[in-house]
Amino acid sequence: MLNISNTSVSDKINPEDYASFRNLGLRSYTRVTKVILIVLGLFILIMLLPWTQNVQGSGTVTTLKPEHRPQSIQSVISGRIDKWYKGEGDFVAQGDTILSIVEIQDAFFDPELIPRMKEQIKAKEGGFDANVSRVGALRDQVDALNKTRDIKMEQIKNKILQSELKVNSDSIRLKAAVAEVEVANLQLRRSENLLKEGLVSLTQLEGRRIRVQEAEARMVSAKNQLLISRNELINAEADLIATLNEFADKIAKTYSDLYSAINNKFTTTADIEQMKNQLTNYEVRRDFRYVLAPQDGYIAQALVTGVGENVKEGQPLVSIMPAHYELAVAFWVRPIDLPLIKIGYPVRFIFDGWPAFVFSGWPQTSFGTFGGRIVAIDNFADVNNKYRVLVSPDPDDQKWPVELRVGSGAKGFALLGDVSVWYEMWRQLNGFPPNFYVKSRENDANMKEQKQLVK
């Protein structure tokens, strides 16, 4: 019965005949059943509990704005390090001198380079003024030549007119001389006939012959004078053409000198502007000999060391961490999870160095996590085939630690929809992605408002 003796009586007693035995067997069976039912109930209860689906990813602490992130300061010009004014870990305000360099190019060795360039510009400007005066003098010369040509042309035209009138007059005189010769010849023939008849004397006939010769002489003189007048007219017309050509050549030459002077003026202007540009470059380059802090911050690391070391154009000299910045977290998610997250979705973070007790499916029961909101999502994957998600602190949640520094590690949980525990286990076993989380209109409005606050 109680199994305290080696002698068994179970074959002599039937337990079913006694109520006590029946009660003892029933009690053992009932206890096991209760335990099983309780465990089964707890399991079912746990399976029916809500579970917040999430997309997990690892990342690093960064800044929200690009200008707040660590940056390196490059050398704009090539040179040799001359002096350090700040060291690693020092605070620098915007515009503070970090280090200075000296020139190593022979074109900038001259310490009086800028004053000499100013003198050259002044000399060029004097040449420009001379060209301007020369242009004005040549324009006056062209005007004078034009006026002289006009006067000369008027004189020659008057001479041509006089020659034409003289030709007309000599032509009339020649016609009169020809008529006089014809009359004298006619009278001579009549006198010869009358001499034969004895009506005139020989002396009268000789007088007629003399008058004929005189008339012919006057006719020849008139012809000669007409030829002289015509020749003078031709000479006057030729003189007109020659004068036109002469003044055209002089004016063309003067215009050539004028255009040359104008070209020299424009060339001098271009040279002056180029020299001014070069002077400005020299003055700006002189300022580049001093490396200045672009913003308030701390010198993190000197990338070049010593004094006398040569540096090239664009070579990083020091790295600086801005003193004022807004923290954010950049974490990476898989392409399969990218369609499930949107701008404005909540994210919980675990930062390296801060203890945390996390239930990813029950964020409200987690300890040591910090909240954030998604503000940006990359449109392309990185070399690891993951997408970067930028998250800023949630203004309605606990503030991030003030000791948090850029570059610290972080693990993020982008919170999605709420499902049952049994569904999440079934999804994980089958390798299905989380449910696409669709927010209500009220949540969408709240999300837009939070997004504007983050911005």
> pLDDT grade, residue 6 (50/70/90)?
low
For residue 439, the model assigns a pLDDT of 45
The whole-angstrom separation of Cα 427 and Cα 340 is: 15
> pLDDT grade, residue 416 (50/70/90)?
low
Mean pLDDT of 405-413: 81
For residue 404, the model assigns a pLDDT of 83
Residue 233's closest CA among 289, 283, 166, 170?
166
259-288 pLDDT per residue, tens? 888 888 888 888 888 888 988 888 888 888
The whole-angstrom separation of Cα 381 and Cα 388 is: 7
Q: Which residues contact 89 (CB under 8 A, 6 or more apart)?
A: 298, 299
* pLDDT higher than 80, residue 421: no
- 113-287 to CATH, choices 1.10.630.10, 1.10.287.620, 1.10.286.10, 1.10.3720.10: 1.10.287.620
Q: Name the phi and psi angles at 84, rounded to 5.
A: -100, 130
* pLDDT higher than 80, residue 203: no
For residue 438, the model assigns a pLDDT of 44
* pLDDT higher than 80, residue 427: no
* pLDDT higher than 50, residue 357: no
* pLDDT higher than 70, residue 454: no
Percent of the chain's residues with pLDDT above 70: 77
pLDDT mean across residues, the chain = 78
Question: Is it true that domain 71-93+294-321 has CATH number 2.40.50.100?
Answer: yes
* pLDDT higher than 60, residue 20: yes
* pLDDT higher than 70, residue 12: no
* pLDDT higher than 60, residue 27: no
The whole-angstrom separation of Cα 285 and Cα 367 is: 56
- How is residue 104 written in tokens? 């190593």
What CATH number labels 50-68+325-454?
2.40.30.170
For residue 415, the model assigns a pLDDT of 61
Record the pTM. 0.54
Same fold, 71-93+294-321 and 113-287: no
> pLDDT grade, residue 98 (50/70/90)?
very high
- Per-domain boundaries in the chain: 50-68+325-454, 71-93+294-321, 113-287
Least confident span in 43-47, 319-323, 442-446: 442-446
* pLDDT higher than 80, residue 206: no
Residue 333, beta-bridge partner list: 387
Least confident span in 15-19, 97-101, 361-365: 361-365
For residue 450, the model assigns a pLDDT of 41
Mean pLDDT of 115-131: 86
> pLDDT grade, residue 92 (50/70/90)?
very high
Q: Name the phi and psi angles at 97, rounded to 5.
A: -85, 125
Residue 213's closest CA among 191, 189, 181, 172?
181
